[in-house]
Structure 1
Amino acid sequence: MKLLQRQIFLELSKLFGLTVSCLLGLILVGRMLQLRSLFLSQDIGFLHILELFFYLTPFFLLLLTPIATMLSVFLTYLRMSTDNELIALKASGVSLYRMLPAPALFCLMMTLFTFFISFWGLAWGMDMFKTKLYHFARTNSRFALQPGIFNKEFPGVTFYAHQVNNETGELKFAFVRDESIKDASVVIVAPEARIESTPELATIQITFRNGKIFRESGDELNVLRFGKYSIKLDLGRLLAGFTFEDKAKDMSFGRLSAIRGDPTLGPSLDERFQRKINTEYFKRLTMPLGCLVLGMFAIPIAYVFRGLKQQYGLLLAMGLFLVYYTMFSIGVSMGESGAISPSISLWAPNVLFVFVAGTGMYYANRERTPTVVQWLLHLRSPKEAEA
């Protein structure tokens, strides 16, 4: 039995490592493209993007660990069932319950690992990600334009130049529209301009020569000619797509718990924000338990669908996880909207899947199939009889 448990645990660990690596790899490609587009035309290297992705890893692992755990258990027991290893073990007097210690220990370890991420790792990763992102934008950025294309990287400011030399920073027929001023719109037009980027000071200076300034405020339009005019921009504004405000999903579990006890400790007393705090609190508790729940749920499912090819088994497992995650997402939405208490909506998927897992385990150990499943499997029998 020790050898059996060791082999099952080893196979589970290998499949888990492979699954997490593949899923993280897919996410890495997508996030690298997203981060690269954010730093397009800026001096941000590949290693810097990898460093940013590393700090986002806890956030992704919180989502990926439950599905990776489920897939590992499901594929392991599906293979054992397909290779008739389960039949051989049962013929030797080994019941399904005696095979549970290895997957139960594995799921428990993954649950504890996810709890660690949920309570501490997620907040640390998001804090470091925001800090590094802002640091890279301030110290490594250089502003560049593409000729004949409107640039809107700075919020509220539109740049355009007919001819651009990014090496020297020289612009021909430059145009800038600033809509960041309340109740006013400023347009600067000049035949010549020059861009000077100073990353160490986190500023960009654009100097226009022999141009005009058009300022529109209500029904009034003012025109001013100039020989030389300069504007300065903060490189930190390039990160307007990333908000640095205090969000519930970025907080540590300890801080969420403290704000639930005393709302004045949070950045806002708004009722909607408090609902988000409450929902996030229960989300951090219930999501790690999904590793244990889904892992145990996968065992009877693999038994019921024994003989299924692994590629189809993978699709089946993904589909079942999608059902779980959809229920979980609906619970989050209902909790944040106040339609139902998150203590109910977020615990419901785990309770339901625990019930299904327990029932399925009972039938699997007795080598029986639930009546509903038998009915579904025999739906096509009349058609086969007609054929």
Structure 2
Amino acid sequence: MKINVYKPWGSGQLFLPSVSILDRYLIQEIIPPFVFGVGLFSSVALTVGTVFDLVRQVAESGMAVSIAVQIFLLKMPEFIVLAFPMAMILSALMVYGRLSSDSELIALRSCGISLYRLLIPTLIFSFLITGLTFGFNEVIVPAANYRASITYEQALNEGQLPIQEDNIFYPEYDKIEIEGTDKKISRLVRLFYAEKFDRGQMLEVTILDRSQPDLTQIISSKSANWNFAQNTWDFFNGTIYIVNPDGSYRNIVRFDHKQIQLSRTPLDLASQKRGFDEMNIAQAQDYLKLMKLSGDQQRIVKTKVRIQQKYALPFSCVVFALLGVALGSRPQSTSRATSFGISVMVIFGYYLLSFVTGALGQKEILTPFFAAWLPTFLGIGIASFLLVRASK
């Protein structure tokens, strides 16, 4: 990039950066195929992921066409964002493949311009798309997906809010020491289960309470509400079974209404339930705090992996840009069909690797950080290797 000197009116000088003709040329070449790729990949993904299901609901369940269109529009941001990295590799392959097949790369390199210098405009553009992807995923996509989910459920339930959650399951754990060792193991101290959560009310609640070493309580109740004024649970129409350590019943108590001091976390889990694609990073962090309160290690690890993936996903744009430049710069003719085929293979391989590493992270074979970022690191490493070979 050159630094040109501009002389403003009056005395003095002002130094402003200007984009070289080469940079403008490459960026102007990249933008049209990138826009084409976004439209292509997002429309294909949207059709497969949403349109078929909406058409089936309109035909079989009587969903209104206007509601189906609304859901379709709400789901569009998610698939557009998914198309950004895919379009990045397609545009890079098409542009640099055409430059290579037309011998423009040879002409530029004969003038002393290296492949690394030709990479800079595309790399800068990919970082801009990375920022755009991150912004979409944080601000627009979670809210749109959540609204689409609510609209979909309301339409299937004839305009009424459905029961928000079924099978609320909340275990509480505590660490206990193993006698004769310094090791600690997790011990279940309380288990909260409700069949349904309907507009703030838990229905058909069962609680297993093992918090006291020599006593076990089983609480069964038709319903339970959280008492915000007293920060406790109000249980209605239930029975408390008190069990001795040998398994025999010590006492049975029936009640119409009883207040019990328990954690509010089951209410938070049920009322704030969202899929990971309906949460931004801040909401996922809040959900992680709730999981830590429950002590459910499997869900804690899964949430940590998903949070790291939210950070890592936008940088796939950079990975695909580097791979596109490296593969497109090879001295051979590359048609649009070939570019599309290569793009599909690279995209499939990258997301397959992401799925595998994510699963390994949830199994705690990899840390959440490496589970999310390993495909990015490997992609950058492979692209760097190919760029070094192509530059020779």
In which range does the TM-score fall when normalised by the shorter chain? 0.5 to 0.7
Structure-2 residue corresponding to 1:207: none
Paired residues of 1:11 and 1:76 also in contact (CA < 8 A): yes
Provide the rounded CA distance (Å) in 1 between the counterparts of 2:356 and 2:295: 25
Structure-1 residue corresponding to 2:189: none
Structure-2 residue corresponding to 1:8: 26
Provide the rounded CA distance (Å) in 2 between the counterparts of 1:265 and 1:338: 16
Paired residues of 1:81 and 1:303 also in contact (CA < 8 A): yes
Structure-2 residue corresponding to 1:263: 290
Q: Structure 1 counterpart of 2:75, which letter?
A: L
> Gaps (5+ residues) in structure 1?
142-181, 183-243, 367-387
Deviation, 1:282, is 0.8
Paired residues of 2:42 and 2:82 also in contact (CA < 8 A): no
Q: Structure 1 counterpart of 2:290, which letter?
A: P
Residues 249 and 41 (structure 1), Cα distance of their counterparts in 2 relative to 1, 3 Å cut: closer
Which of 296, 313, 324 aligns to 2:350? It is: 324
Which of 50, 53, 64 aligns to 2:69? It is: 50
Structure-2 residue corresponding to 1:247: 275
Higher strand share: 2
Q: Structure 1 counterpart of 2:55, which letter?
A: R
Residues 26 and 250 (structure 1), Cα distance of their counterparts in 2 relative to 1, 3 Å cut: same
Alignment of 1:284-295 (within 5 A): 284-295=310-321
Aligned residues: 266
Paired residues of 2:115 and 2:391 also in contact (CA < 8 A): yes
Structure-2 residue corresponding to 1:84: 103
Structure-1 residue corresponding to 2:11: none
Aligned-residue Cα RMSD (Å) equals: 2.8
Give the percent of matched residue pairs that are identical in Structure 1 and Structure 2.
19
Residues 287 and 91 (structure 1), Cα distance of their counterparts in 2 relative to 1, 3 Å cut: same
Provide the rounded CA distance (Å) in 1 between the counterparts of 2:280 and 2:366: 24
Provide the rounded CA distance (Å) in 2 between the counterparts of 1:121 and 1:3: 35
> Which 4+ runs in 1 deviate beyond 4 A?
138-141
Deviation, 1:24, is 2.1
> 357-366 vs 274-283, which deviates more?
357-366
Provide the rounded CA distance (Å) in 2 between the counterparts of 1:346 and 1:7: 35
TM-score after normalising by structure 1: 0.62
Structure-2 residue corresponding to 1:114: 133
Structure-2 residue corresponding to 1:190: none
Structure-2 residue corresponding to 1:344: 370
Which of 258, 268, 277 aligns to 2:303? It is: 277
Structure-1 residue corresponding to 2:242: none
Structure-2 residue corresponding to 1:303: 329
Which of 113, 119, 135 aligns to 1:94? It is: 113
Structure-1 residue corresponding to 2:122: 103
Q: Cα deviations across residues 52-77 of structure 1 (Å, max 9, x unaligned)?
A: 12221232234221111111111111
Q: Cα deviations across residues 330-380 of structure 1 (Å, max 9, x unaligned)?
A: 0112222333222112211111111122222223223xxxxxxxxxxxxxx
